Amino acid sequence: MNYENLSGNWNYPNSIRAGAGRISELAECCKALGMQAPLLITDPGLAALPMVAEAEAQCRAAGLRIGLFSEIKGNPTGRNVDDGLVAYRAGKHDGVIAFGGGSALDAAKAVALMAGQTLELWDFEDVGDNWTRVNAEGVAPIVAVPTTAGTGSEVGRASVITDDAQHIKKIIFHPKMLPGIVILDPVLTVGLPPKVTAATGMDALSHNLEALCSPFWHPMAEGIANEGIRLVHDYLPRAVADGQDLEARMQMIVASSMGATAFQKGLGGMHALAHPLGALFDAHHGMLNAILMPYVLKANREVICERIERSARYIGLADTSFEGFLDWVLQLRAQVGIPHSLGEIGIDASQLEKIGRMAVADPSAGGNPIQFSAEQYSALCGRAIRGEL
Question: Side chain identity at 276, as an amino acid letter?
Answer: P
The residue among 210 and 245 lying less far from Zn ion, judged by its C-beta, is 210
Residue nearest to Zn ion (CB): 203
The residue among 106 and 203 lying less far from Zn ion, judged by its C-beta, is 203
Stretch that binds Zn ion, among 77-85, 163-171, 203-211, 235-243 (CB under 5 A): 203-211
Residue 3: DSSP 8-state? G
Cβ of residue 224: shortest distance to Zn ion, in angstroms?
A: 16
Cβ of residue 150: shortest distance to Zn ion, in angstroms?
A: 7
Stretch that binds Zn ion, among 110-118, 159-167, 195-203, 224-232 (CB under 5 A): 195-203
Say how far apart CA 36 and CA 45 lie, in whole Å. Answer: 26
Stretch that binds Zn ion, among 17-25, 138-146, 196-204, 323-331 (CB under 5 A): 196-204
Per-residue binding letters, 84-123, with Zn ion (x by CB under 5 A):
----------------------------------------
The residue among 67 and 179 lying less far from Zn ion, judged by its C-beta, is 179
Cβ of residue 347: shortest distance to Zn ion, in angstroms?
A: 17
Cβ of residue 129: shortest distance to Zn ion, in angstroms?
A: 25
Provide CB contacts within 8 A for 65, sequence distance 6+: 36, 37
The residue among 248 and 262 lying less far from Zn ion, judged by its C-beta, is 262
Cβ of residue 287: shortest distance to Zn ion, in angstroms?
A: 11
Contact 142, 108 (CB under 8 A): yes
- The answer to the question of residue 185 lying near Zn ion (CB under 5 A) is no
Q: Which of residues 213-242 bind Zn ion (CB under 5 A)?
A: none
- The answer to the question of residue 210 lying near Zn ion (CB under 5 A) is no
The residue among 153 and 311 lying less far from Zn ion, judged by its C-beta, is 153
Closest of 21, 99, 86 to residue 53, by C-alpha: 99
Q: How many CB atoms lie within 10 A of CB 350?
A: 9
Residue 15: DSSP 8-state? E
- The answer to the question of residue 203 lying near Zn ion (CB under 5 A) is yes
Q: Report helix angle 322-335 to 301-315, nearest 10.
A: 70
Say how far apart CA 124 and CA 136 lie, in whole Å. Answer: 12
Say how far apart CA 212 and CA 196 lie, in whole Å. Answer: 24
- Greatest Cα pair distance, the chain, in angstroms, is 59
Cβ of residue 320: shortest distance to Zn ion, in angstroms?
A: 26
Q: In 3-state terms, the chain is what percent helix, strand and coil (to 5)?
A: 60, 10, 30
Say how far apart CA 255 and CA 209 lie, in whole Å. Answer: 12
The residue among 154 and 203 lying less far from Zn ion, judged by its C-beta, is 203
Stretch that binds Zn ion, among 174-182, 183-191, 201-209, 314-322 (CB under 5 A): 201-209
Contact 199, 284 (CB under 8 A): yes
Binding-site size, Zn ion (CB under 5 A): 1
Cβ of residue 242: shortest distance to Zn ion, in angstroms?
A: 25
- Sheet harboring 67-69: ordered strands across? 8-11, 15-18, 181-184, 142-146, 95-100, 38-41, 67-69
Stretch that binds Zn ion, among 39-47, 200-208, 236-244, 379-387 (CB under 5 A): 200-208
Q: How far apart are the first and last CA of the chain?
A: 38
User: Which chain residues interact with Zn ion by CB under 5 A?
Assistant: 203
